[in-house]
Amino acid sequence: MAFREESQEFTDGGASRSLSSKVSNSQIPHHVAIVMDGNGRWAKKRGLPRTKGHEAGERVLFEIVEAALHLGIKELSVFAFSTENWRRSPDEVKFLMGFNREVLRRRRDQMNELGVRLRWIGRPQRLWKSVIEELEEAQRVTRKNSKLILNMCINYGGRAEIADAAARIATDVAKRRLKPSQINERSFAKYLEEPKMSDVDLFIRTSGEHRTSNFLIWQSAYAEFVFVDELWPDVTPETLRRAVDIYSKRERRFGKA
Ligand code: IPE
Ligand code: IPE
Ligand code: MG
């Protein structure tokens, strides 16, 4: 898909530079992962409770899904609730559980009409039963779609995912279904939460923080990282297009000389 001409200043990890380019089909990342961060600060700046920031982020997520479809991105993973987010106040955790459930219910049909296949990535432990039910229903309704896979990462943590995979491998070895000599990167990946998930090409984090916060750490081993300053509720499709533009100019070497 052709990318429209643009020429503007953009902050990439603090360094401002001028962009002027066209991105061709081959430079569109297959899998984009986004840490949707900054909702609380967005609300605080406006004298509002943190929950209002989460609410303001809903529209942005679905604008980004549509923009991803237009750009020809095939897989989009979004971090909605981490295994570490249980450390927040009980009130905020309760809000986020109910909010995620309602967003899934509200947006399910729209996602289906757009040809988006929704997949839940995360642990069931501690997660509200009503949230799991809504995730399963959204997966069921959208299961035949193939334009874009939307991985909703809810109660997800990268280390937890790897540790869980190791435990399942140990069980299979103990039951003699697997030999230790058969464990390698390829076979290990089959024990991850979603074995069909492709490697992340472009990893975006909003809000000016420069860390992964435990998001898709196995799958992002060779991702290109783009950090943007916008708080999540201020993000627009233009933010995604700029990140893709930056990505398209990077040289990915994968260890080769
Ligand atoms: C991201 O925004 C949403 C979740 C983690 C659920 P935050 O709630 O982390 O907002 P900040 O980082 O405190 O501004
Ligand atoms: C990461 O953001 C998790 C989500 C966006 C869901 P956090 O705001 O929880 O991460 P830290 O605490 O800044 O590392
Ligand atoms: Mg945050």
pLDDT of 166 higher than 70: yes
Compute how many other C-beta atoms are within 10 angstroms of the C-beta atom of residue 141.
Answer: 15
- First-to-last alpha carbon distance for the chain, in angstroms, is 30
| C-alpha of residue 124 to centroid of ligand 1, in Å | 21
Determine the Cα–Cα distance for residues 30 and 76; give it in Å rounded to an integer.
8
| C-alpha of residue 102 to centroid of ligand 1, in Å | 18
Mean pLDDT of the chain: 92
Determine the Cα–Cα distance for residues 145 and 118; give it in Å rounded to an integer.
9
**Taking residues 49-78, what's their average pLDDT?**
98
With beta carbons less than 8 A apart as the criterion, state whether 54 and 93 touch: no
Q: Is 37 a catalytic residue?
A: yes
Compute how many other C-beta atoms are within 10 angstroms of the C-beta atom of residue 183.
Answer: 15
Q: Which of 12, 25, 39, 85 is catalytic?
A: 85
229 residue type, one letter: D
pTM over 0.85: yes
Q: How far is CA 17 from the centre of its chain?
A: 26
Q: Which residue owns the Cα nearest ligand 2 atom 11? A: 213
User: What are the phi and psi torsion angles at 5 (to 5°)?
Assistant: -65, 140
Q: Model confidence over 41-54: pLDDT tens digits?
A: 999 999 999 999 99
Can you name the residues that pair with 10 across neighbouring β-strands?
17
- The number of C-alpha atoms within 13 Å of 199 and in the hemisphere containing its C-beta is 9
Q: Model confidence over 141-158: pLDDT tens digits?
A: 999 999 999 999 999 999
pLDDT of 9 higher than 70: no
Q: Which residue owns the Cα nearest ligand 1 atom 3? A: 37
Pocket of ligand 1 (CB under 6 A): 36-41, 81, 85, 96, 207
With beta carbons less than 8 A apart as the criterion, state whether 34 and 237 touch: no
Cα distances from 149 to residues 56, 73, 228, in angstroms, run: 23, 9, 23
Q: Which of 37, 39, 100, 245 is catalytic?
A: 37
Encoded tokens for 12 = 């990439």
- The number of C-alpha atoms within 13 Å of 87 and in the hemisphere containing its C-beta is 3
Which ligand lies nearest the alpha carbon of 50?
A: 1
Q: Model confidence over 182-238: pLDDT tens digits?
A: 999 999 999 999 999 999 999 999 999 999 999 999 999 999 999 999 999 999 999
Which ligand lies nearest the alpha carbon of 95?
A: 1
Q: Tell me, using a 6 A CB cutoff, whether residue 156 lines ligand 2.
A: no
Q: Which residue owns the Cα nearest ligand 1 atom 1? A: 37
Q: Given pLDDT bands bounded at 50, 70 and 90, which one contains residue 14?
A: very low
Which ligand lies nearest the alpha carbon of 235?
A: 1
> CB burial class (10 A; 0-12, 13-18, 19+) of residue 1?
exposed
Residue with tokens 């509002």: 48
pLDDT of 5 higher than 70: no
Q: Which atom of ligand 1 is nearest to the CA of 82?
A: 5
pLDDT of 21 higher than 80: no
Q: Given pLDDT bands bounded at 50, 70 and 90, which one contains residue 110?
A: very high
User: What pLDDT does 22 receive?
Assistant: 58
Q: Tell me, using a 6 A CB cutoff, whether residue 79 lines ligand 2.
A: yes
5 residue type, one letter: E
